[in-house]
Amino acid sequence: MKKQSHSTRKSKNEDKESMLLSKIAQMPEKYQEMGERLHNIIMNSSPALTPRLWYGMPAYSLKGKVICFFRGDKNERYMTLGFNENAALDEGNLWPTSYALLELSHAEEEKISILIKKAVRGIESQ
């Protein structure tokens, strides 16, 4: 099997990111800005993540494994930021896998950045 060139992989990743940004643009107005900010927070926290759509939601993967995703629909009271089982967020026998977002203040941005960095730490070390 032939390996993809760096430029081909980069082009595919850019296409995936375009699709993700298009999905954010289709969100209800109250979630569009928050979605764009979440995208920037996630990508700045871990540039190794690949943006993509996952079950129609903006998501981010590493080594082919979805780490986190978010959603915001017109019938939902809040936007949700979720983490998959691949995220290294384990703390004992109980830990949160999703968070409700009503707003994104500096405090939430900091917490999300910390969670993203922690979530990818275990995957990067594999």
Residue-wise pLDDT tens digits, 40-89 = 999 999 999 999 999 999 999 999 999 999 999 999 999 999 999 989 89
Domains, the chain, ordered by start: 6-124 (3.90.1150)
Distances (CA, A) of 114 to 24, 37, 108, 120, 125: 23, 15, 10, 10, 17
pLDDT tops 80 at residue 121: yes
- Does this model's pTM top 0.95? no
pLDDT tops 60 at residue 2: no
Predicted pLDDT at 71: 96
Q: Residue 32 class from Cβ within 10 Å (0-12 exposed, 13-18 middle, 19+ buried)?
A: middle
Q: Residue 72 class from Cβ within 10 Å (0-12 exposed, 13-18 middle, 19+ buried)?
A: buried
